[in-house]
Amino acid sequence: MPIDPTLPYDENNIFAKILRGEIPSHKVYEDEWSYAFEDINPQAPVHTLVIPKGPYVSWDDFSAKASAEEIAGFVRAVGHVARRMGLVEPGYRLLANIGRHGGQEVPHLHVHILAGQFIGPMVMAR
């Protein structure tokens, strides 16, 4: 069920619980600003999620409220994970679903890294 983007940050969303260690996850990378882990329901041979550690619902929320350090840290973490996983040459797709029309289900900003095979057309045909 897509989230309502007008709601405030929910401290009990599943990724907040993962960040607090209340729910297990398969860690791929972690630094001061970001955490990366395997998606529980992979849509490609490689399906990693990268999230900022701060309480941000979406890209617009993050870009409006996060500090420059948090933003730089998160952007660098996504690139770091891609490089570390050897995805630069075969290539990969970044995807961030936001809000209702974006089909976002977890109300904590996350970037999907999809790779390991051709990921297909950019969007489904209408």
* Residues catalogued as catalytic: 110
What are phi and psi for residue 30, nearest 5 degrees? Answer: -150, 140
Interaction between residue 48 and ligand 5GP (CB under 6 A) = no
Interaction between residue 58 and ligand 5GP (CB under 6 A) = no
Stretch that binds ligand 5GP, among 33-41, 57-65, 71-79, 81-89 (CB under 6 A): 33-41
DSSP string computed for the chain: ----TTSPP-TTSHHHHHHTTSS---EEEE-SSEEEEE-SS-SSSEEEEEEESS---SHHHHHHHS-HHHHHHHHHHHHHHHHHTT-TTT-EEEE---HHHHT--SSS--EEEEESS----SS---
Give the nearer residue to ligand 5GP in terms of CB position, either 67 or 117.
117
Interaction between residue 90 and ligand 5GP (CB under 6 A) = no
Interaction between residue 27 and ligand 5GP (CB under 6 A) = no
Stretch that binds ligand 5GP, among 50-58, 64-72, 101-109, 114-122 (CB under 6 A): 101-109
Cα distance from N-terminal residue to C-terminal residue, the chain: 21
Interaction between residue 28 and ligand 5GP (CB under 6 A) = no
Minimum separation from the CB atom of position 70 to ligand 5GP (A): 20
List residues binding ligand 5GP (CB under 6 A): 14, 23, 25, 37-41, 97, 103-106
